Amino acid sequence: MAYNLLKGKRGIIFGALNENSIAWKVAERALEEGATFTLTNVPFAIRLGDTQTLADKCNTVVIPADASNVEDLEALVIKSMELLGGKIDFILHSIGMSPNVRKGRHYSDLDYDFLAKTLDVSAISFHKVLQVARKLDAINEWGSVLALSYVAAQRTFYGYNDMADAKSLLESIARSFGYIYGSERKVRINTISQSPTPTTAGNGIKMFGNLLDFSERMSPLGNATADECADYCIMMFSDFTKKVTMQNLFHDGGFSSMGMSFSAMEQYNKGCNDEEPDHKFD
C-alpha cells in the first residue's frame, strides 16, 4: 500500500547490488511513495550486480561512485541535482565492506591496511557524503540522511570482526554531523540498526545462518526483514519524523533489549551437556 509519503522528494540511494540488498527494497518503496532518485554504487558492483536493472524499473539512472572517493561523491551529488531538478531531500547510505572479513582474518590478527579500508568504506564514507553535501549546499531544509548499522556497534558478536568498529564509528558520525547539519540547516541524520538480513554483505559474516536463527529466537517480534527495513527508512525520509535526529534507531524486533528468551534457552538446552565451556573465540 502506498501513501504518497515521499511525493515531490528527491533522493540518492547508495548500495543496491541485487534484489536482496536493503537499498534495493528502499528504492522500490521510495518509488511507490512518489519520490524521484538516483542510484549509485561502486563501478565493479555495477558491472557484476543488477543495479542497472533496478534503475530501469525505477525510470532512473545509475551514477557510478566509490563512496570513499570525495571527487566521485562531488560529481554524484552535482549530477543528481541536475537530473532530479533541484536539491536533495533524502540520502540512504547502505554500504558495508571489510577486507578482513572477506579474507578470514581473525580480529586479534587484523591486517591494518584492510582495517583502514573497512573503516573508510563502511564508516568514513558516511562523513564524506555528508561533508560533500553540506559544502555543495545540496540538501533541502528538513532533509533526512540515513545509514544502516548493526547492534555489534554496542555489543560484541562472535565473527562480526572489524565491522563492529566500523559501525561504532558510523553511529558516532551520525551524532557529530547531526549536530552541525541540524543546527545550521535543519538536516536530520540517523542510523537504523537492522536485524541480520540475508543479503550479499550479511552472508559474508561468519556462521551467518546461526546468527540469523539465534536472533530470530531472541527477538519477540522476530527478525526484521529487508522489506520492513525499507518501510522504516521511508518513514524516516518522510515529514512524519522531522524532529528525529542524531539517533541510532533499533529496527530488530526487540532483539537489542533482550538478555535471554525461552526459545533461545530451549535450543541451547538441546545442545547442552555437563562439559566445561572451552571459551573458543576464533
Q: Site for ligand NAD (CB under 6 A): how many residues?
A: 27
Q: What single-letter amino acid sits at 103?
A: K
Cα separation, 39 vs 46, whole angstroms: 10
Kindly tell me the sign of the dihedral angle through the C-alpha atoms of 42, 48, 54, 56: positive
Nearer Cβ to ligand NAD, position 58 or 201? 201
Q: What minimum distance in Å lies between the beta carbon of 186 and ligand NAD? A: 25
Quick check: 93 and 148 in contact, CB under 8 A?
A: yes
Question: Is residue 146 part of the contact set for ligand NAD (CB under 6 A)?
Answer: no
The answer to whether 164 and 152 have CB atoms below 8 angstroms apart is yes
Site for ligand NAD in 1-30 (CB under 6 A): 14-15, 17, 21-23
Beta carbons within 10 angstroms of residue 126's beta carbon = 28
Per CB under 6 A, does 191 bind ligand NAD?
no
Judge whether 204 and 162 are in contact, CB under 8 Å: no
Find the shortest distance in angstroms from Cβ 97 to ligand NAD. 4
| Alpha carbons 86 and 70: distance in angstroms, whole number | 21
Query: Which of 63, 92, 97, 236 is in the footprint of ligand NAD by CB under 6 A?
Result: 97
Asked if residue 77 binds ligand NAD (CB under 6 A), the reply is no
Per CB under 6 A, 230 contacts ligand NAD: no
Residues that bind ligand NAD (CB under 6 A): 14-15, 17, 21-23, 41-42, 45, 66-68, 94-97, 121, 148-150, 194, 196-197, 199-202
